[in-house]
Structure 1
Amino acid sequence: MLKAIIISDSHGDLKNVRKIAEKEHNIDLVIHLGDLLGQDEQLAEIFNCEIKKVKGNCDYYSNNPVSDVVEFGGNRIFITHGHNYGVDFGLDGLSYAAEENKCNIALYGHTHVPDSSIRGKIIIVNPGSVSRPRQLGGRPTYGVMKVNGEGKADIRIEYV
């Protein structure tokens, strides 16, 4: 069983990211979906595993890509912050980008609201914000993706 932690919109506050690292064990991959605000090195110090990151709309000086494709446990995962794909207005642009890149999973942030849906054969997940949640109740959230030996991915939203 492979395990990935999915984080977005930490906005320079890694307090809850540290809590996630203490809570979660046997992590193979961390995916940060943007608005890390230059704390790439600190993120690498917190987690002892591979880290994939993309640039958010507040990451002005970041060299991270705007989007990327990650291979994980037999899955192709399209990762992006989401602002360049119009996620504030719907998921069509994100869904099309994932499909064009032959991905079966798309992960995005930006809205600070956790969400999951399926578009055709693509699983689409927003883990919410780990530091500035906007959903009703306002609790910080993140995602946990587990992939079994057959490549079946299970993605859940967790509270910090």
Structure 2
Amino acid sequence: MKPLDPAALPHLRPARGALSLVVSSGVVGGLATVAQAFALGALVVAAVTPPAGGWHGPAWAFAGLVLLRTAAAYVGQRAAARAAGEVSGALRQRLLDAARRSDDLPPARLVVLATRGVAGVEPYVTRYLPALVPAAVLPSSRWPRSPGSTRSPASWSR
């Protein structure tokens, strides 16, 4: 099974704007997580070394990155909920249009498809897609090495 089914892409078109916001907030949140780890390291180093520049700068950077991650998560979750509503609404409309054209669809089957069947797309849009893109994008990005580092992260386990 492919991570992103090409057959599902046309059904996601009604929510393009919301999904692009979901993807961008996921990437921003992921990058902020990595930057937060560096800021925490700088804060710990500043806290245990003699006060050359103080610990206030790293503390403010860390707090700012926590707020950035919080905002990115909030925006991403709101956009994912909006995208799920748009996709579900579009699928229900397509289902009702197909039901109007076809007389051989029993009403009980139509009710099950319109409720449970279409509702099954919501976890895909609200949980899976927001996690898929940062999981694909962030590991492929290049992170800076510390100035004295000669080994790559891939060789750390050797």
Calculate the TM-score normalised by the size of structure 2: 0.22
Larger Rg: 2
Structure holding more helix per residue = 2
- The structure, 1 or 2, with the larger RCO (C-alpha pairs under 8 Å, 6+ apart) is 2
Calculate the TM-score normalised by the size of structure 1: 0.22
